[in-house]
């Protein structure tokens, strides 16, 4: 899937720290402790990104995660009732996330890591189910991958050389 590079400076981005882990490396003198932070950023209007920051201090790891997430911003298709155009399963590593479209008023029915991606993307009505691994990093990336591969009816119609009415029936 081709990702378009988006300039993060043109948006007012909101960020959410999904996970902070303390990681250690054993060296000759003992263990060195560092931190790894998974951060999701989005503008609440169809643009979202995720990034991983690693540093010796938590605040620095979060800052680096925000920068990495802003560099990885992607456009997500949203339909008229603030849901996804169709159902899809996003996969990353051993994690899979089922994304099901939902009618107006449903809200976001999702677990923690997937919920943060969907909220910051601006999706208001969706049902999700995390399948396979429950590793937070992989669930966030599987959700993003699923959202990226979703196509609008207009894209499908153009690809097939038909009208939108023929596609939707």
- 126-132 and 108-109 beta bridge pairing: parallel
Determine contact, residues 97/139, Cβ cutoff 8 Å: yes
Q: Examine residue 140 and state whether it is found in any structural domain, yes or no.
A: yes
Q: For residue 33, give the CATH number of its domain.
A: 3.30.160.20
Q: Do 84 and 53 share a structural domain?
A: no
Q: Do 157 and 82 share a structural domain?
A: yes
Confidence grade of residue 16 (pLDDT, cut at 50, 70, 90): very high
Q: Do 51 and 88 share a structural domain?
A: no
Q: Examine residue 134 and state whether it is found in any structural domain, yes or no.
A: yes
Q: For residue 82, give the CATH number of its domain.
A: 3.30.230.10
Q: Do 141 and 98 share a structural domain?
A: yes
Q: Examine residue 21 and state whether it is found in any structural domain, yes or no.
A: yes
Confidence grade of residue 14 (pLDDT, cut at 50, 70, 90): very high
Quote the pLDDT of residue 4: 59
Q: Do 56 and 30 share a structural domain?
A: yes
* DSSP string computed for the chain: -PPPP--GGGS--EEEEEEEEEEEEEETTEEEEEEEEEEEEE-SSSEEEEEEEEESSHHHHHHHHHHHHHHT-EE----TTSS-SS-EEEEETTEEEEEEE--TT--EE--HHHHHHHHHHT--SEEEEEEE---HHHHHHHHHHHHHH---HHHHHHHHT--HHHHH-
d(CA 17, CA 36): 11
Quote the pLDDT of residue 37: 97
pTM (predicted TM-score): 0.89
Q: Do 111 and 35 share a structural domain?
A: no
On the question of pLDDT at 35 being above 90, the answer is: yes
Question: 122 lies in which domain range?
Answer: 77-161+164-168
Q: Do 88 and 22 share a structural domain?
A: no
Quote the pLDDT of residue 92: 95
Q: Examine residue 3 and state whether it is found in any structural domain, yes or no.
A: no
Confidence grade of residue 1 (pLDDT, cut at 50, 70, 90): very low
Q: Examine residue 99 and state whether it is found in any structural domain, yes or no.
A: yes
Q: Examine residue 1 and state whether it is found in any structural domain, yes or no.
A: no
Q: Do 151 and 121 share a structural domain?
A: yes
Q: Do 104 and 53 share a structural domain?
A: no
Lowest-pLDDT range of 44-58, 63-77, 126-140, 153-167: 153-167
Stretch 33-46: mean pLDDT:
94
Q: What's the pLDDT tens digit per position in 64-112?
A: 999 999 999 999 988 888 889 889 999 999 999 999 999 999 999 999 8
Overall domain count for the chain: 2
Q: Do 47 and 103 share a structural domain?
A: no
């Amino acid at each position: 899937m081709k990702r378009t590079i988006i300039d993060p400076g043109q948006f007012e981005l909101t960020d959410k720290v999904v996970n902070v882990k303390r990681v250690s490396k054993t060296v000759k003198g003992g263990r060195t402790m560092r931190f790894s932070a998974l951060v999701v950023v989005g503008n609440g209007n169809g643009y979202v990104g995720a990034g991983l920051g690693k540093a010796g201090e938590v605040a620095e790891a979060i800052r680096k995660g925000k920068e990495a997430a802003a560099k990885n911003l992607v456009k997500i298709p949203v339909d008229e009732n603030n849901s996804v155009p169709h159902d899809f399963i996003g996969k990353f590593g051993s994690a899979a996330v089922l994304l099901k479209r939902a009618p107006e008023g449903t809200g976001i029915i999702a677990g923690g890591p997937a919920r943060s991606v969907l909220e910051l993307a601006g999706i208001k009505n969706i049902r999700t189910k995390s399948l396979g691994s429950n590793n937070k990093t992989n669930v966030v990336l599987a959700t993003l991958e699923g959202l990226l591969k979703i196509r609008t009816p207009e894209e499908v119609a153009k690809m097939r050389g038909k009208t939108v009415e023929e596609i939707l029936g």
